[in-house]
Chains A and B, each alone.
Chain A
Amino acid sequence: MEIKLHDAELKVMDVIWSEGTVSAKHIYETLKERFGYSRSATYTLIKRCIDKGAIERIEPGFLCEALVKKEQAQELETRELINKLYDGSADKLVASILGKRDLSHEEIERLRKIVKDWED
């Protein structure tokens, strides 16, 4: 069974893979120390892993057991994310490096050619 997890979800799994079945509280404390994640962020990630079938919740004490082995879990590619953040559009109040619209291969090649053939 292959499961795709994104970067932050894999960090939760890493704790379980290296330390065995641990409590959610312990995962939160570890991630807080390592990455500064907030409580809500960690618990959201744990819930997502449970929803994806990567973790099983064991009571009492909210213990988290890994349902997949490390080799079975794959990192989700940015392309596959539903929640992908499009930056640089008119509604985004952030300053980004690239615009919202993805360019097509043809456009990128065309622009590359313009750059390479440029006569100053």
Chain B
Amino acid sequence: MTVFSIQLRATLLILLIVVLRSLFLYKLPKKVFLGLWALALLRLFIPYTGNLSLGFSIPSIEQIWLALFPITNRTPGAQTIETKNVSAVFTTYSVPTFLIWIWFAGCLALAVWFIISHLRGKRIFRFAYPAESETVTRWMNANRIRRKVRVLVCPELSSALTYGVFRPVILLPTTMDWNDTDNLSYVLSHELEHIRHFDVLWKWISAIALSLSWYNPMVWAMHILLGRDLELHCDECVLKKQGITKKSKTEYALALLSLAEEKGTTFSMLSHFGKSATEERILSIMHSRYAPAMLIGLALLGIALLTLLSFLSFVMVDVVAFTLPLR
């Protein structure tokens, strides 16, 4: 019941976030969406739904689901219990063992997938060496954070990235133009934002959630969109530090596009459905603005409301869900 409840509630929450995102992505500060994704992750990990009595009963989402899709004798895993004295039939449900094995196999497969790709990365990072660039040294001195950050150059890398939580490392590709001070600054600042917000940790937590809930397509959506929103959030923070102006937005967006060009382009005959992640980023950058306090207040209120709805049910506990007809 708990897993069913968690998955049901998480699914609806994620669905709502996806809808909100498609409507308001460019209008709200990205922290709002990260707050929502944090809520979704909490909902997936915390096996608790509280009860709040309001004086009247609102059917819980679980009840609505069971009303729409009742468990009958024919549902695999359902067991009917007939009692002797009363003519009532109880149906209980427990997940059939073979499904549990399939779930476990899926978890294992995903865990292996993540771990292998992590190890593949580490094999390549072995050959990284310290960057010898005045621009880098100057930038490092101007941007100190509590943790020690190393900036290395790594062959076989096609674009900059960062890894590591306690001793973060920024890896730059060898194709980096060391004379392009502006681009280099943007790249380093962007990666530093990832480090500041512990984005790598977010990704690991999301990966664990996905490994456990792989059968739920909405959790896949969450994993992918969370990755995108972490990027958008970093972009926003880089701009904020410079001051959000048309000039800074244009420069940053063009810098990203020139980096994408340096990375390598493909010749593509395919048309693409929907916005690519990069298009979303460019549009998000150009739409960046300072949000009015009212809007932020409303967003926080919305998140608080969603938290309550996700973690509480409002069924009155003393209302019996079924009645026993007595002879």
Contacts and interface: CB of A to CB of B under 8 A. Distances in A.
Interface residues of B, number: 64
A41 B126 contact: yes
Contact of B124 (A37, A85, A97): A85
B77 interface: no
A102 B161 contact: no
A78 B265 contact: no
A98 B260 contact: yes
Contact of A95 (B129, B162, B207, B253): B162
A103 B276 contact: yes
B204 interface: yes
Interface stretch (B39-47, B60-68, B114-122, B313-321): B114-122
Name the prevailing secondary structure of the B interface residues: helix
A1 interface: no
A92 B115 CA distance: 9
B273 interface: no
Contacts of A11: 129
Interface in A67-120: 78-79, 81, 83-88, 90-99, 101-108, 111-112, 114-116, 118, 120
A118 B250 contact: yes
B163 A94 contact: yes
Interface of A: 6-8, 11, 34-38, 40-41, 44-45, 78-79, 81, 83-88, 90-99, 101-108, 111-112, 114-116, 118, 120
25 contacts: A8-B127, A37-B127, A78-B156, A83-B124, A85-B120, A87-B158, A87-B161, A90-B223, A93-B163, A94-B203, A96-B160, A98-B260, A99-B278, A101-B266, A101-B276, A103-B261, A103-B265, A103-B278, A104-B266, A104-B267, A105-B265, A107-B279, A108-B260, A112-B257, A115-B254
**Nearest 10 pairs of A and B residues by beta carbon:** A7-B155, A35-B129, A96-B161, A95-B194, A8-B127, A98-B159, A104-B268, A41-B126, A95-B199, A94-B163
